[in-house]
Structure 1
Amino acid sequence: MRRAPVQRRSTERLERILDACARELDEGGYERLSTRAVAVRAGVPIGSVYRFFSDKRAMTDALAHRNLDDFLDRAGVRLAEPGTGPDWRGAVDVLVDEYTAMKRTAPGFALVDFGLPGESNHDLADRLPALLGDRLTGDPAEPRLRLALVVAVEAADAALQLAFRDDPSGDAGVIAETKLLLRAYLGTVLD
């Protein structure tokens, strides 16, 4: 982002722009996304879009970061609920469930989620240790654990893309297999 909002009014304008960006992505995809269309949909002058973003790439990057923050917030709330369990295996289920819920319901998430298609998910992997806290049985500074988290996130991303490729609500069988895959792989590092 070119400029972070300072006042409440600017923050609200930025949120309207990102909401409009998400809806435009759902309707036309990334190739048809334009800053002008986003400005019209958000009900703001085009200059307001350019005040925050240099181009559509910067705008979608900001949407991806907001998606990541929303995902982590939602997962954190779920992980704090009683009955979730204190171990990392239950956390895997929560993370996959929250991701699939957002894939089904969050505007723009189906295309962008945490970054443009083909980009890495390192931001998510870097933020998982703080989210998982004591559920993570290894030292987050350990290179092997860091690598395992990156591989697990990338594997989950690929498997969940498969789950949603032909079924907009997600293939339940592929989603269940994704959870098994993650538990088996992470078990080699966390058990």
Structure 2
Amino acid sequence: MLDACADLVDEIGYEGLTTTLLAERAEVAIGSVYQFFPDKRAIVQALALRNMDAYLQRLSARFSNEVFAYWWDGVDAAIDEYIAMHRAVPGFRTLHFGDVVDVHLLDEEQDNNAVIADRLADLLVERFMLGDRARLKFALQIAVEASDALIKLAFRRAQHGDESVLIEAKALIREYLHRHVS
């Protein structure tokens, strides 16, 4: 059902999504949809959580398999994975981590981008033994917000992301983080 949801969101957007359309696309009875999800928001929340898990798994795999000379190379990898998911993961370009539905879709206490910044801080602290986690988390929250906005701009400008905007986004984020976290 989540795969069907992702495809539908790409085709018709969140506003056009209905549980009836989802049931038809997933080739299940409407009762089966309601057995697992009370409404379309819950379905999209499950998809957003799956996207976040996939993103963090992809990023963890890169952190395990690649050698990064500096911590900001890990940030570049995080941006690269976010861009790759925009290009390849059904539903991601429209939903991202659920902010289209609710900025608190992933966590009631923090907004979606803060959740991502927090998880990224965990990875960076673990991998690079960075000391001031609070300062890093604050800087990452700003960096995630800025990179999210710029990546969305790149994908509004071009189907697969305007490469010039993506290059500038990475340069801006790297410079900002280098100045505030070093």
TM-score range, shorter chain: 0.7 to 0.9
Preserved contact between residue 19 and residue 30 of structure 2 (Cα < 8 Å):
yes
Aligned counterpart in structure 2 of residue 148 of structure 1, from 118, 132, 139: 139
Q: Structure 1 counterpart of 2:142, which letter?
A: V
Matched, 1:137 2:133: no
Contact residue 76 and residue 174 of structure 2 kept, 8 A: no
Correspondence 1:166 to 2:157? yes
Q: Which runs of structure 2 are paired with 1:66-77 in the superposition (5 Å)? A: 66-77=50-61
Q: Which segments of 5 or more consecutive residues in structure 1 lack a partner in the other structure? A: 1-16
Cα deviation digits, residues 7-62 of structure 1 (max 9, x gap): xxxxxxxxxx1101000001111111011111111122212211222211111111
Q: How does 1:17-166 map to 2 (within 5 A)?
A: 17-82=1-66, 84-117=67-100, 119=103, 120=111, 121-132=113-124, 133-135=126-128, 137-140=130-133, 142=134, 144-166=135-157
Kept in 2, the 8 Å contact 1:102–1:109? The answer is yes
Distance 2:17 2:131 in 1: 42
Return the letter of the residue paired with 1:134: R
Give the TM-score normalised by the residue count of structure 1. Answer: 0.84
Q: How many residues align?
A: 172
**RMSD across aligned positions (CA):** 1.6
Contact 2:139 2:181 in 1 (8 A): no
Does structure 2 retain, via aligned residues, the 8 Å contact 1:68–1:114? yes
Q: Distance in 2 between matches of 1:160 and 1:150?
A: 15
Report the equivalent of 2:108: none
Q: Percent identity?
A: 48
Name segments (4+ residues, structure 1) moved above 6 Å. Answer: none
